[in-house]
Structures are given as structure tokens and as C-alpha cells.
Amino acid sequence: MEILKKFQRKMAGLSSEQAAQETLLLLKSRFAHHYRYAKNLIINPEITTEKLLQEINLGKTLDILTYFKKRDNIKLYPGFNRLLETSELYKDNFPESEREIISKANDICEHKFAFLGRKLEYKEEIDWSYDPTTDYHWPKIHYSKISTISDKPGTDIKIPWELARLQHFVTLGQAYHLTKNEKYAVEFCSQLLSFAKENPVEIGIHWLCAMEVALRAISLTLAFYFFRSSENFNQEILLTLLKLLFSHANHIENNLEYSLQVTSNHYLSDLIGLLFIGIVFPEFRQSKKWVDFALSELLKEMDKQVYPDGADWESSIGYHALVLEIFLYAFLLCKENKIAIEDRYWNKLEKMFEFVRAYLKPDAKAPLIGDCDSGRVIIWQTRQANDHSYLLPIAAVLFQQENFKLLGSAQEESIWIFGYFGWDTLENLPLTEMPSSVIFPNAGIYLLRDKDLYMVVDVGDIGINGKGSHAHNDLLSFELFYREKTFFVDPGSYVYTSDAKARNLFRSTAFHNTVMVDNTEINEIYPGQLFTLGSQAKPKINRWTSTLEYDFLDVEHNAYERLSQPVIHQRQIQFNKVLACWLITDILRGSGEHLFSFFFNFDENLSVEIIEKTKILIIDETNNLSLILVPLESKGLKTEIVERWVSKGYGEKTKSWGVVYNLKASAPEKRRFLIAPCSSEDISGIDDLIEQIEQWQV
């Protein structure tokens, strides 16, 4: 019965014809996996040297190594095309980052890795299917017979997947060009041969997800340019690399993560992987086909997956950044190789950057709305997952627009991508001011801003045609940044398949700054479905006004209409820019007695005190700042400080605190909450502010 319900949810919203087509796609995919499994038993899918040379169109070229080492007709990115100059520029301007890269590269040479909240160390050879953090070996069988969820608690397939993306080859390549030390080239060659040997085509977890194969293909392509000048880059290395790339392209093409109803960052990753291989290695006879298909589909998907206001449709800030990177690196690669893309797609890419500019907080960090798996297309510089600041200098150079220059200077990524051109461009652009209040109605993201005062409110649906793969139960929730610190926070996502309980906790209503009625989730969380939310809640914008003195937002949703005694949650937020305070009014329309739970969750490293039974003082001792949360109608409220967690990157969490106000009352009900600057010595002064609030009119 549960399988039938799951199938019905998958087909929801499709016409009978579309449902039939979707069913055929599912059956075709299942059959294809079984076919490849059976074929693998009979015919070894490994690419032989003879087969490879047949697939490469080099005419009468005899010295294949010299050809690939010397060819210069294919471009990557301006800074990458002049690695000698770019490396010198980098050393001159980012000495600390240079030392960090070299240190990380030395760790990589010792087979020490740190990512996704874990540290991995392999004593001798890297075992690509082994997770030393949980002492678990993933099976080396045909990929179609492997589940992404291990039977060992706490084991996360994303850990070995992240390692096998081989994005650390970029770090080795950077260190090689910054130091001219051949040990980094030797290590690259050793790991390349090891990976190829230990991961034969279609065997093991590293062929299970086409997205992982595609991102690895990009890493291999970049590694080719980083290391082809090395004396250690010999014919064996070249042939191994080309065989991997060819088998990767074939595998991606045969395992595209496509659906009529739902496509996401996975399908986009598949496409950019094909595009990279096809453009950078036109010698493959199928390259033109890969490029034509991948680019055509990427543009179709941009029309589909990116809203007119520039936001990605997955209802996740983290995945917006990843999707932006996919289009950015794809478009730049096409531009460098004289492949035309219509202006309207470049314009939409610019809108994607404008969304980033708007949602970055005054400290240049991104809010934690929706899922985040810390994914990047290319890791030029290790950053915290919610640090999206590197995107703005790239946009400033790419579009020659000063409104993207918020940070004052170039960042590491813009140098590796654009080289001296990027550096000079940013130096000559004037510094722009902080963004003001702005809305993104398609995404349902509202930014209430004034200098170092910032609130982001999520009033959007769950995304992806109602599937909610990476959305949370955060409707009408918000993050609030005051002066130098985030005070009210979205908790992030922490993990996916390794801990189902934690996964659902971090995307629950209670972990967001919103209201729960009768302990009912805003959207249903289905057992065992970690990448699906119900689509019960429909938001409605009643009013939005923004002036120099205040912002006012009035919005509601109908999630609790499904209760036996239905309730509508309406929330009004007034941001007074003159007094630097926020008034939140929750109106609960309906009938009958209910349990109303008002949740407020605070960032890490904050102290929380209850004052006069219901007032909450939130203190940032580091920056000597504090805010007070005051229920203006406190009758009947039961106040409880609760333990919370904040995850600012996949696999990472730190302890924090929250408060829940519980109220048993009959609907309709109205409660107001004031958030304002206040220290423990000024508690009495808050009464004067409350008197002023009673006179506010918007």
C-alpha cells in the first residue's frame, strides 16, 4: 500500500498522458539497469587502449602524448589558460591562502582529508569504497545492486562519494603550480591510477549516481590542464585519464537523472559533466553529440528550474548556489570556446547572482533556508558551506557591474577563473552599498533590510513542482541578523540518509521560526521518504510595502485547514528601520480549541535568559550585543527554553537554544511579539518602546 501511495504522490499533478510517459521512463530506467548488469556479466565494459584509440579522432597522429601535452586550441577559463601568470598573481595577493593550499595538499599526499564534518585518513593506499569514520566497506558489486543507505547506523554514502569526486585534485594542481614541486604531480598520478584500478566501470558505489560521475569528470578535466606539463604526466597517465573520461561520458549518457515531472541539480550536474568532456576533449568521436545535447538541455532546464526572479526552484539557498555554479562554469566554458548562448540566458544568470547579492547577510554569509550538502562544482578555495561571498566578485568581473562589488576586493576564486583580467576589473570598479529591501515573488523570499539590519522571510512553496526534495517546513519562518551577528536562525539540514531521525528533525516545523498548530507539521513528513515533503501548505501574500522608514509584510498559509477544526495562520511582520526593531503579529483564524506553539530558534554562541516569565533576552557576548523577544500579550503562554542545533555545513552541527511559547486557546487568536535591541540594564526601557509600537500605523 505504501508503495502505491508513493507512486501516486510521484504522479501527482501530471495529466494521464504525462503519467503514462513518466511510467515508461521509470520502467525504461529499471530495465536499463538490469540490462547493463546482465551485460556486465558477459562483456567487460572496461575501455581498452585499442578501443580508446578507435574512439579518438586524431587522424595519423602517432605521438598521442605530445599531441595532448602541446595542444592549445581548447580553452578553459582566462586565469586557467595562463596558469603561470595566475599562480604568481595569487602568491602576491593571497599569501595566507597559498599557505593553506600547500598545507592541504601536503595532507592529501599523506591521504588525510577533511570534509562534510568528518576527518578521513588512509594509512597507505586509499580505499575508495571504505569509510574509515565508521569502519564500513561499501560493496564492490555492480552499481545497480547497491542501495544508497547502508545497514550500518551512521554510515553516510556521501562521505566516500565526496572523496571520489576527486575535487582535491584541484588543490594538488594549485600547489603544483604555486611551488613547482613535482611531489604533487606524483601524488596526482598515483591517485589517478589507484582510482581507475579500484573502481572498474560500473562496479561499486562510485557509478551509482550519475551526478557523482559527472562532477568527477570535471575534476579529471581540470587535472589534465593542471598536470599535463609535468614530467610525471606520461603516456600511461594520459591513457588512463582518457579512458576514465570516455567511460564517464558513456555512463552519464546512459544514466541521466531525468524525469518529466522533476529535474533538479542532479540532472544539471549530469549535463555539465557531458558538456565539459565534450568541449575540452573534442577528439572523442561522440564529443559533438555530447555537447549539442548537453547545452540544449541545460538551456531548457534553465527555463524550467530557474524562476523569472533568478532563484532556483528547489526552495534551498544552498542548492541555489550549486545550480548557479553549474550554469556559470558551463556558460564560461562555452564563451571561451566560441560557443554562442543567447543573451536571455546570460541575463537570467545575472539574475541568479542578483539573488545571491540580495540574500547575503551583512557578514556575507548566506541564510540556511532549505537543504545544504556543501556541494560545489569546483573547489578553488575551502569555505564554510554558507559562505557564498565568493560568487559576487565573479559576477562583478563577468558582467562588469559595480553593484556586485560589495566586498572591496577580489577573492581567490575570481583570480583562478579570470586571472589578471579579473584582478584589474575589480580594482577599477567602485565599491557599492549594501542592498536594500527587495522581494523575489517567484521564490517566495522577502528581504527586509537596512544597512546592518537584516531579516529574510520564507513565504514560498516547497519547490520542484510540489515534491519538496530539498525544502523544509519553514513557511513564514525567518532569519534575523542584527549589527554583527545572526540572532534568529534557520537550523540548516545537517545530514541526509545516515540519520533519518536527525534529517526529519532539522526539516521539521519546530526547528523553524514559525507556528505549529496541534503538533501538526506544516507539510506532512512521510516515513522513509527523506527527500519528499507533502504539499499541503499554500502561501498567499496579502500585502507588501517597503518605504525608507519601514517594511510591512502580510502573508498567510492554509496548512492547518486539514485539521478537524481548520485554522489559517496569518503572519504580519513590521520592520521599523528608524527604531531598529521588528513586530511580528500571528493571527490564527478558525474555530475550536487548539494548542498553538510559537517557535523561535537562536544561532550558536548566544546566551539566553528568561525575564519576567515570558521575555527572552538573547545575548551575544562576543560582540557585546543583545536583543529582547517580548510577547505583547502574555496571558496563557507557557514559556520553555529548548535545546536546539545549528548546522552550517553538511555533517556539522553545534548546540544552540530556542524558545517555544505554548498556548491552549480557542481560535480565532492573535499574538504579537516584539524583537528589539535591549541590554539587561535597559529592560525597563522596553516599556517605552512598547507604548510607541501601539501608535504604529502602516
Q: Which of 559, 554, 551, 552 is nearest to 534 (CA)?
A: 559
* pLDDT tens digit sequence for 322-353: 999 999 999 999 999 999 999 999 999 999 99
* pLDDT tens digit sequence for 635-656: 999 999 999 999 999 999 999 9
What does the pLDDT average to over 566-589? 97
Q: How far is CA 179 from CA 69, 88, 175, 183, 185, in A?
A: 20, 10, 6, 10, 11
* pLDDT for residue 390: 95
pTM over 0.75: yes
Give the sign of the dihedral formed by CA 682, CA 683, CA 684, CA 688: positive
Higher pLDDT among residues 687 and 350, named by residue: 350
Q: Is the peptide bond before 362 cis (omega within 30 degrees of 0)?
A: no
* Percent above pLDDT 90 for the chain: 86
What does the pLDDT average to over 55-83? 90
Model confidence band, residue 2 (pLDDT cutoffs 50, 70, 90): very low
Residue 11 has pLDDT above 70, yes or no: no
Would you report the helix, strand and coil content of the chain in percent, each value rounded to 5? 40, 20, 40
* pLDDT for residue 20: 64
**Identity at 483, one-letter amino acid code:** R
Rounded distance between C-alpha atoms, residue 209 and residue 216, angstroms: 11
Residue 38 has pLDDT above 80, yes or no: no
Residue 197 has pLDDT above 80, yes or no: yes
* pLDDT for residue 21: 64
What does the pLDDT average to over 52-68? 88
Model confidence band, residue 44 (pLDDT cutoffs 50, 70, 90): confident
Burial of 355 (0-12, 13-18, 19+ CB in 10 A): buried
Residue 272 has pLDDT above 50, yes or no: yes
> What Rg, from alpha-carbon coordinates, does the chain have?
27
**Residue tagged 551526478 (cell numbers):** 211
* Percent above pLDDT 70 for the chain: 93
* pLDDT tens digit sequence for 418-451: 999 999 999 999 988 889 999 999 999 999 999 9
Rounded distance between C-alpha atoms, residue 63 and residue 372, angstroms: 46
Backbone angles phi, psi at 515, to 5 degrees: -115, 135
Higher pLDDT among residues 77 and 32, named by residue: 77
Q: Which residues contact 23 (CB under 8 A, 6 or more apart)?
A: 11
* DSSP label at residue 651: T
* pLDDT tens digit sequence for 146-173: 999 998 999 999 999 999 999 999 999 9
In 10 A of CB 112, how many CB atoms?
13
| CB of 500 closer than 8 Å to CB of 530 | yes
* pLDDT tens digit sequence for 275-326: 999 999 999 999 999 999 999 999 999 999 999 999 999 999 999 999 999 9
Residue 417 has pLDDT above 80, yes or no: yes
* pLDDT for residue 406: 84
For the chain, the straight-line distance linking the first and the last C-alpha, in angstroms and rounded, comes to 52
Q: Residue 397 in 3-state DSSP?
A: helix
Give the sign of the dihedral formed by CA 319, CA 325, CA 326, CA 327: positive
Q: Which residues contact 453 (CB under 8 A, 6 or more apart)?
A: 481, 482, 483, 575, 577, 580
* pLDDT for residue 16: 66
Q: Residue 484 in 3-state DSSP?
A: coil
* pLDDT for residue 283: 96
Residue 688 has pLDDT above 90, yes or no: no
Q: How far is CA 470 from CA 368, 389, 496, 515, 599, in A?
A: 12, 22, 10, 21, 21
Residue 15 has pLDDT above 70, yes or no: no
* pLDDT for residue 67: 95
Cell of 41: 556479466
Average pLDDT of the chain? 93
**Considering all CA atoms of the chain, what is the largest pairwise distance in Å, rounded to the nearest integer?**
88
Model confidence band, residue 683 (pLDDT cutoffs 50, 70, 90): confident
* DSSP label at residue 595: E
Model confidence band, residue 680 (pLDDT cutoffs 50, 70, 90): confident
What does the pLDDT average to over 36-59? 80
Rounded distance between C-alpha atoms, residue 328 and residue 346, angstroms: 9
Among 147-151, 526-530, 558-562, top mean pLDDT goes to: 558-562
Model confidence band, residue 41 (pLDDT cutoffs 50, 70, 90): low
Return the C-alpha torsion angle 600, 456, 539, 267, nearest 10. -110
Model confidence band, residue 23 (pLDDT cutoffs 50, 70, 90): low
Cell of 284: 572523442
Residue 13 has pLDDT above 90, yes or no: no
DSSP states along 56-117: B--TT---HHHHHHH--S----HHHHTHHHHHHHHHHH-HHHHHHHHHHHHHHHTTEEEETT
Reported residue count of the chain is 698
What does the pLDDT average to over 339-368? 97
Residue 479 has pLDDT above 90, yes or no: yes
Q: Which of 246, 228, 251, 248 is nearest to 238 (CA)?
A: 228
What does the pLDDT average to over 102-129? 96
* pLDDT tens digit sequence for 381-413: 999 999 999 999 999 999 999 999 987 777 899
**Alpha helix positions (H), 429-559:** 500-506
Q: Which residues contact 70 (CB under 8 A, 6 or more apart)?
A: none
